[in-house]
Amino acid sequence: MQYTSRRTRVALSSLALVVLALAACTAPTLSQEELIGTWVVSQSPADVPAEFGSATIEFTDEHAFAGAGCNGASGPYSVVGNRIRIDFWAASEVGCDPNLHEVEDLLYSGFTGLSVDGEEIVMPTSAGEARFIREG
């Protein structure tokens, strides 16, 4: 019979609780199939043009697209945990309304930093956090 001290049992029990707590705090994973579709703005960053409200992010089975009605950006993506990874992307550059250009610059600043928080996609733009929900 192997003898384990009370102190060792308490330490192991405490370690097990810490591991379980960390596992519970881990961000949920999301598959690429669950992202497919169009996502619309649910929260704009503060002090940005009202046109930001028309911004969308769209996912197909292979590519992500972001735009606000004039130009757009796209690139292949993958999902790693709660992060949406876009390693490289390209954007069109056509003359638009100055407010739309500002909105597009904000979208492009956060396009490679997307993550999932519950039912929303979070985009950290240069003007602050934007959030998107699945279109209706």
pLDDT in tens, 6-59: 565 444 444 444 444 444 444 556 678 889 999 999 999 999 999 999 999 999
Q: Which pLDDT tens digit goes with each residue over 3-21?
A: 556 565 444 444 444 444 4
pTM listed for this prediction:
0.75
Domains and CATH numbers, the chain: 32-134 (2.40.128.270)
Residue 89 pLDDT exceeds 50: yes
Q: Which helix (H) or strand (E) element contains residue 135?
A: none
Q: H helices within 26-128, ranges in order?
A: 32-35, 98-110
Q: Which pLDDT tens digit goes with each residue over 121-130?
A: 999 998 999 9
**Residue 69's pLDDT is what?**
86
Closest by Cα among 35, 80, 41 to 62: 35
Please give the Cα distance from 68 to 51 (Å, whole number).
7
